[in-house]
Structure 1
Amino acid sequence: MTRLRLLSAAALLAMAANASATSFIVTTDSIVGALKATSDATSDVTSSFRDDKIVLAARDDAASFVASEGDIRGVKLESALDHIRHQAPQLNATDAQLAQAILTL
């Protein structure tokens, strides 16, 4: 009887470990997918606005915005964000993502 319980416990433990590993893989895939989407969005911004004077002028304001976690919003950054959203309306990026993209230029 104890051998049956031991085998049952081992089988349950194996199934639990497998389920845990599967959920970890799904979670990891979701996070990587989200990061890739963010990276693609910022890559699109940096390639199309690399020579844009309005966007380049906002680099200092973008640095302040990122460093203050969104508390400091300069006039040049606001102008650049409006300009980017007007030029690329299909882009679904937050202000923080756009500010980080501006810093990579």
Structure 2
Amino acid sequence: MSRLRLLSAAALFAVAANAHASSFIATTDAVVNALKATSDATTDVVSSSFKDHKIILAARDDAASFVATDGAIRGVKLESALDYIRHQAPQLNATDAQLAQAILTI
């Protein structure tokens, strides 16, 4: 009888662990897809509106440094470009990192 309970508990644990892992994967996929959609929208707005602007083009090196260092290096040209973008497109709700990545795609 004890062996049957042990096997039942092990089977129940395996099923529960599998369901938990599947839920985690589905939740992670949903979050990643939502972030990607936000990033894609930001990139589309920035790249289509500002692709020929000198302030934005001059900020590409600073944007690369910003992205590569996870925001530790913030160059003057990048700050100028971020201010310009936010002034020209106040409806755009994007983080500095999203805007820096969008600048890099131009």
What TM-score range do you get, normalising by the shorter chain? 0.7 to 0.9
**Structure 1 unmatched runs, 5+:** none
CA distance in 1, matches of 2:62, 2:12: 58
CA distance in 2, matches of 1:100, 1:12: 43
Q: How much does 1:82 deviate?
A: 0.7
CA distance in 2, matches of 1:13, 1:90: 48
TM-score by length of structure 1 reads 0.77
CA distance in 2, matches of 1:52, 1:23: 43
Q: How much does 1:3 deviate?
A: 6.2
Cα deviations by residue, 1:45-75 (Å, 9 ceiling, x for unpaired):
1121112222112223323333444333333
**1:13-32, aligned counterparts within 5 Å?**
13-32=14-33
User: Counterpart in 1 of 2:12?
Assistant: 11
Q: Percent identity?
A: 59
User: Counterpart in 2 of 1:71?
Assistant: 72
CA distance in 1, matches of 2:102, 2:71: 14
CA distance in 1, matches of 2:94, 2:23: 30
TM-score by length of structure 2 reads 0.76
Figure out how many residues of one structure are paired with residues of the other and give that number.
105
Structure 1 residues 23 and 66, CA gap change in structure 2 (3 angstroms): closer
Structure 1 residues 9 and 47, CA gap change in structure 2 (3 angstroms): same
Q: How much does 1:89 deviate?
A: 1.1
Is 91-100 or 66-75 further displaced after alignment?
66-75
Is 6-15 or 84-93 further displaced after alignment?
6-15
